[in-house]
């Protein structure tokens, strides 16, 4: 079994600071392989978004290095899901507390994959996304945005949502509201399937066909290929005048 | 316009200029401070203490890919 993973991030063409953070870790373990792939998009409209996204990514990265190896012998996905939700809630409370004491507003999305051997778990808060790229492109996370909720409740059509001025407004993110309800999903990894985690800045101006064509398994067979395809798409995004920071990570298992 | 009136206007203008200089100096100092705290746009890969990694290695755990990209040196958790 082999895991292939890579990531790339870019400040973009407009912003003075990159508020996104990203983490890609894979490891050989006594029972096989493990990985953590995550993207956090610090809130553009909020001050110190880069600090919020960095804190969340560091927390998970440090967990992966220091606690996860000792959790592996008794690994259980239900417990893992519970622990991830607890960690995200603790981080949310910490950022809310820090913000209120320093008169700042910090916020970030938190979206990622934890994989152990042939199984995985996704965790998600906000409007970053995870896509599964197999023989088609499918979004496996739900956007925690006002317009997405309105569409689901039948109060807005998907077409109206695309042009609604509130399309970027989040109904939850880490660091802003008292409570967060992270979305957790469990699944099995498959051969020739690539998972993509990205910030909204990466996907806004790309079509699903473009993402699928460039990042399908045949084009991302090695880490080098992954890196060159991600950079190519990031340059396309910049050429199309996307104003946000741009971040993407890819992950694939060869079982 | 009398000499007195001209003097009052000149004094007001001088006070206005001085207040502006003080205000903008304070603002730029504050902005520089924030920039210094947040600017490093390079990748920051934090190294763990050898003890922790050694303990993990005993458990048969070895990092293959290890990329952590953040854009501030500031920490909330020390």
Sheet with A194-198, edge to edge strand ranges: A2-10, A246-254, A194-198, A129-133, A137-139
Best of B36, B65, B77 to disrupt the A interface (most A CBs within 10 Å) is B65
Cβ pair A182, A123 in contact under 8 A: yes
d(CA B13, CA B48): 59
Q: Are strands A119-125 and A129-133 parallel, antiparallel or unpaired?
A: unpaired
Mean pLDDT of A16-29: 96
Query: Do A112 and A37 touch, CB atoms closer than 8 A?
Result: yes
pLDDT > 50? residue A23:
yes
With an 8 Å Cβ cutoff, are A55 and B69 in contact?
no
> How do the domains of chain B map onto residue ranges?
1-42
Asked whether the CA dihedral B58, B61, B66, B69 is positive or negative, the reply is negative
**Scanning the structure block, which residue is given the tokens 């903008």?**
B24
Which CATH number does the domain housing residue A130 bear? 3.60.40.10
Å between A44 CA and nearest CA of chain B: 14
DSSP-derived secondary structure letter, A42: B
Residue B64 to residue A21, Cβ atoms within 8 A: no
- Residue B39 has a pLDDT of 47
Q: How does residue A166 score in pLDDT terms, banded at 50, 70 and 90?
A: confident
Q: Which residue has the higher pLDDT, B56 or A28?
A: A28
Q: What is the DSSP letter of B25?
A: H
Q: What is the pLDDT of residue B51?
A: 63
* Total domains in the fold of chain A: 1
The reported pLDDT for the residue numbered B28 is 82
Average pLDDT over residues A164-170: 87
How sure is the predictor about A64, in pLDDT bands with cuts at 50, 70 and 90?
very high
Predicted structure pTM score = 0.84
The H or E element that residue A250 is part of is strand A246-254
Mean pLDDT over the full length of chain A: 94
Residue ranges for chain B with pLDDT beneath 50? 38-41, 78
Local structure of A76: helix, strand or coil: coil
CA B35/CA B30 separation, integer angstroms: 9
Report the pLDDT value the prediction gives residue A163, as an integer from 0 to 100: 85
Nearest residue to B31 (alpha-carbon basis) of B41, B39, B21, B20:
B39
The pLDDT value recorded for residue B49 is 55
A156 vs chain B: nearest CA distance in angstroms?
Answer: 37
Per residue in A185-236, pLDDT (tens digit) is: 999 999 989 999 999 999 999 999 999 999 998 899 999 999 999 999 999 9
pLDDT tens readout for residues A95-111: 999 998 888 888 999 99
Q: How far is B45 from chain A (nearest CA, A)?
A: 10
What is the predicted pLDDT for the residue at B61? 93
Q: State yes or no: pLDDT of A145 exceeds 50.
A: yes
User: In terms of pLDDT, which residue wins out, A167 or B50?
Assistant: A167
- Full domain range(s) for residue A112: 2-254
Asked whether the predicted pLDDT for residue A179 surpasses 60, the reply is: yes
Whether residue A72 contacts residue A31, with contact meaning beta carbons closer than 8 Å, is answered with: yes
């Amino acid at each position: 079994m082999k895991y292939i993973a890579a990531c790339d991030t870019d400040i973009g063409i407009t912003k003075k600071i990159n508020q996104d953070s990203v983490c890609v870790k894979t490891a050989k373990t006594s029972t096989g392989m493990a990985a953590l792939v995550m993207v956090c998009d610090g809130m553009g409209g909020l001050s110190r978004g880069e600090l919020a996204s960095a804190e969340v990514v560091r927390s998970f990265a440090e967990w992966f290095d220091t606690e996860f190896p000792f959790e592996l012998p008794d690994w259980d996905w239900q417990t893992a899901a519970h622990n991830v939700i607890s960690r995200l809630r603790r981080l949310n409370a910490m950022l809310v507390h820090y913000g209120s004491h320093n008169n700042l507003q910090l916020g970030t999305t938190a979206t990622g994959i934890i994989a152990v051997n042939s199984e995985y778990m996704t965790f998600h808060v906000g409007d970053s996304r995870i896509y599964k790229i197999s023989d088609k492109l499918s979004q496996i996370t739900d956007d925690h945005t006002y317009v997405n909720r309105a569409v689901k409740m039948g109060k807005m059509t998907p077409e109206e949502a695309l042009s609604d001025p509130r399309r970027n407004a989040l109904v939850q993110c880490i660091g802003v509201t008292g409570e967060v309800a992270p979305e957790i999903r469990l699944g099995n990894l498959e051969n020739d399937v690539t998972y993509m985690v990205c910030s909204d800045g990466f996907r806004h101006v790309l079509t699903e066909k473009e993402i699928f064509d460039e990042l399908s398994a045949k084009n991302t067979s090695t880490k080098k290929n992954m890196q060159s395809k991600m950079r190519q798409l990031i340059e396309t995004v910049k050429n199309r005048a996307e104003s946000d920071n741009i971040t993407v990570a890819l992950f694939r298992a060869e079982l | 316009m009398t000499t007195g009136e001209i003097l009052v206007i000149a004094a007001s203008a001088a006070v206005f200029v001085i207040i502006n200089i003080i205000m903008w100096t304070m603002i730029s100092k504050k902005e520089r401070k924030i920039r210094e705290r947040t600017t490093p746009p390079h990748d920051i890969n934090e190294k763990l203490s050898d003890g922790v990694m050694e303990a993990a290695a005993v458990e048969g755990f070895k990092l293959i890919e290890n990329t952590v990209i953040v854009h501030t040196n500031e920490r909330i958790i020390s």
